[in-house]
């Protein structure tokens, strides 16, 4: 009598089950996000499960990196498990399958190395002799201490097919004759991924398995395990893979840190922008929205919107600037989200980054500066370069030639600065008065407004490209402004 999963409450239970064998990959992050969105959208439960049955390859560093990445995303989860704590359940499940005659001991030594792996001619299905080993002989050899793996006895008679319906890819079927007798238990007694994953999914009453498409063909094996263990398989939804511009799947070895979530964090991405970007890879709302908040995404998310083709993360392979490290759309979305933030909020996020380099900057100061750079930064870290002149006492050296205005010369720069020194000494440092005073001064000197503003801008900012002049001066204050203009006048000599 198969136990019925997922129907009793109607509330979905989903899980994200990473293997701690490396940092949190952007593809994994997307899988986590889709699961989370699905759970929240349908008032279900989000489960985090560490699939750490491969003791050889698991590391604590990886576990930490995964938590670090997930913490930054800030989405959270409702239940947490580690497969290594649940080995008894896995073994019990495996042996229950064995007892039903649906699995058998294979005493063949493990295939070593990569022999006949990728270039294999023909498909390996099972080791000769083992599948039909008489029960008594099997028991005897096991009792004598001989090592064995436990394999699933895949039904491979003509006409045997395994089927399931994928929420994304539709009806799937495969002949049993094309499925190899996969292992359930290794010869050291440890469960394999397939077994552990299914045993846990059943035990945790997972209703929907939302995961990467690399598992689509594994799902036939999983259906076999669920049914052999007496459970109704959950609903499956496979996600198209994220690939590099060259079409190969994202890997640390080939593509470096671009595939790590923490790289986005450290570059100054907003987690909500990163999430927004990832959602648009392989999923779309049916309207034309692109910039979406977490709550909008939660509201809009559905399995039906998931696409079937792999999605390219469009970064430049040899990146010549930090910006090129990322997909242009991710960068744009980040800037969009930054622009959409309230000044106080943005300022708070900028402050720790700024303080790392300029410890004297206060929260009050940052609030004044933030509106001037909000439209000018693409990454949080850009505040460091966009507003540097607010943070330093003394401007770093700049080329005095920069002080020379368009269609002007050194003497014009000097006249403008000297005039500015006088005018600014007698004006209130507020936007409008500064505006009026400096425009009037330009008129008196017979120069264009732009010719008046540029030398002042360079004198106070140390460069030509900067925020609006009046608001800059207002925030900078009279004292610093006059000091920097004096320095600039010295430079014109």
Partner RNA sequence: GGCGCUAUCGUCUAGGGGUUAGGACGGAAGAUUCUCAAUCUUCAAACCCGGGUUCGAUUCCCGGUAGCGCUACCA
Residues 207-266 that bind RNA (CB under 7 A): 213-218, 240-241, 243, 245, 247-249
Nearer to RNA, 257 or 450 (CB): 450
Angle 317-321-327 (CA atoms, 0-180°, nearest 5)? 55
464 interacts with RNA by CB under 7 A: yes
Task: Select the residue interacting with RNA from 5, 460, 470, 481 (CB under 7 A).
Answer: 470
Enter the tokens of residue 434.
Answer: 């500064």
349 interacts with RNA by CB under 7 A: no
d(CA 160, CA 289): 46
Q: CA-CA distances (angstroms) from residue 306 to 3, 15, 48, 218, 249? A: 29, 18, 22, 20, 19
Of 137-145, 174-182, 394-402, 422-430, which part binds RNA (CB under 7 A)?
Answer: 174-182
d(CA 239, CA 212): 5
Of 74-82, 136-144, 261-269, 304-312, which part binds RNA (CB under 7 A)?
Answer: 304-312
Of 228-236, 253-261, 310-318, 343-351, which part binds RNA (CB under 7 A)?
Answer: 310-318
What residues from 415 to 444 belong to the interface with RNA (CB under 7 A)?
none
Q: Is 252 one of the catalytic residues? A: yes
What residues from 109 to 168 belong to the interface with RNA (CB under 7 A)?
109-111, 117-124, 147-149
Q: Check: CB of residue 64 under 8 Å from CB of residue 158.
A: no
What residues from 26 to 45 belong to the interface with RNA (CB under 7 A)?
none
What residues from 278 to 297 belong to the interface with RNA (CB under 7 A)?
280-284, 286, 288, 290
Task: Select the residue interacting with RNA from 324, 449, 486, 487 (CB under 7 A).
Answer: 449
What residues from 176 to 195 belong to the interface with RNA (CB under 7 A)?
178, 180, 182-183, 186-188, 190, 192-194
Strand partners, 170: 166
List the catalytic residue out of 11, 252, 430, 464: 252
d(CA 30, CA 280): 10
d(CA 4, CA 1): 9
Angle 232-233-239 (CA atoms, 0-180°, nearest 5)? 160
Strand partners, 166: 170, 236
Q: Check: CB of residue 20 under 8 Å from CB of residue 63.
A: yes
Burial class (CB in 10 A: 0-12, 13-18, 19+), 27: buried
What residues from 53 to 82 belong to the interface with RNA (CB under 7 A)?
53-54, 57
Enter the tokens of residue 478.
Answer: 């009279």
Nearer to RNA, 127 or 421 (CB): 127
Nearer to RNA, 159 or 247 (CB): 247
Of 263-271, 346-354, 359-367, 461-469, which part binds RNA (CB under 7 A)?
Answer: 461-469
454 interacts with RNA by CB under 7 A: yes
d(CA 209, CA 236): 5
The least distance separating RNA from the CB of residue 256, rounded to whole angstroms, comes to 17
* 407 Cα distance to chain centroid: 49
């Amino acid at each position: 009598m198969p136990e019925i999963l997922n129907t009793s409450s109607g509330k979905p239970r989903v899980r994200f089950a990473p293997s701690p064998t490396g940092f949190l990959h952007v593809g994994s992050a997307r899988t986590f996000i889709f699961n989370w969105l699905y759970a929240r959208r349908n008032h279900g439960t989000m489960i985090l499960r560490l699939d750490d049955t491969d003791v050889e390859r698991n590391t604590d560093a990886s576990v930490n990196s995964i938590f670090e990445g997930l913490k930054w995303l800030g989405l959270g989860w409702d239940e947490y498990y580690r497969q290594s704590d649940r080995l008894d359940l896995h073994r019990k499940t495996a042996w229950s399958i064995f007892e039903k005659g649906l699995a058998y001991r294979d005493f063949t030594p493990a295939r070593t190395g990569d022999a006949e792996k990728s270039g294999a001619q023909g498909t390996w299905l099972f080791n000769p002799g083992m599948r039909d080993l008489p029960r008594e002989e099997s028991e005897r050899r096991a009792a004598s201490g001989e090592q064995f793996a436990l394999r699933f006895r895949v039904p491979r008679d003509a006409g045997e097919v395994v089927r399931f319906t994928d929420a994304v890819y539709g009806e799937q079927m495969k002949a049993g004759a094309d499925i190899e007798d996969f292992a359930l238990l290794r010869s050291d007694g440890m469960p394999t991924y397939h077994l552990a994953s299914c045993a846990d999914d059943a035990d945790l009453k997972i209703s929907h398995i939302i995961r990467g498409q690399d598992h689509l063909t594994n799902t036939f094996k999983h259906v076999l395990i669920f049914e052999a263990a007496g459970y109704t398989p959950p609903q499956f939804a496979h996600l198209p893979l994220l690939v590099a511009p060259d079409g190969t799947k994202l890997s640390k070895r080939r593509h470096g840190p671009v595939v790590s979530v923490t790289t986005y964090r450290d570059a100054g991405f907003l987690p909500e922008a990163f999430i927004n970007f990832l959602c648009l890879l392989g999923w779309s709302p049916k309207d034309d929205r692109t910039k979406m908040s977490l709550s909008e995404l939660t509201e809009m998310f559905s399995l039906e919107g998931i696409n079937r083709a792999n999605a390219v993360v469009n970064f430049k392979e040899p990146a010549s600037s930090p910006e090129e490290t990322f997909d242009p759309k991710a960068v744009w979305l980040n800037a969009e989200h930054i622009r959409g933030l309230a000044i106080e909020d943005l300022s708070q996020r900028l402050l720790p980054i700024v303080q790392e380099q300029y410890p004297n900057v206060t929260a009050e100061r940052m609030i004044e500066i933030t509106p001037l750079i909000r439209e000018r930064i693409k990454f949080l870290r850009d505040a460091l370069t966009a507003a540097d002149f607010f943070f330093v006492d003394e401007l770093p050296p700049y080329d005095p030639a920069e002080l020379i205005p368009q269609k002007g010369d050194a003497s014009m720069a000097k006249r403008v600065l000297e005039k500015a020194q006088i005018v600014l000494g007698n004006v209130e440092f507020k936007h409008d008065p500064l505006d009026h005073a400096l425009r009037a001064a330009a008129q008196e000197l017979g120069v264009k407004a732009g010719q008046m503003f540029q030398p002042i801008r360079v004198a106070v900012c140390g460069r030509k490209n900067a925020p609006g002049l009046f608001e800059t001066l207002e925030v900078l204050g009279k004292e610093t402004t006059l000091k920097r203009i004096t320095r600039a006048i010295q430079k014109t000599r």
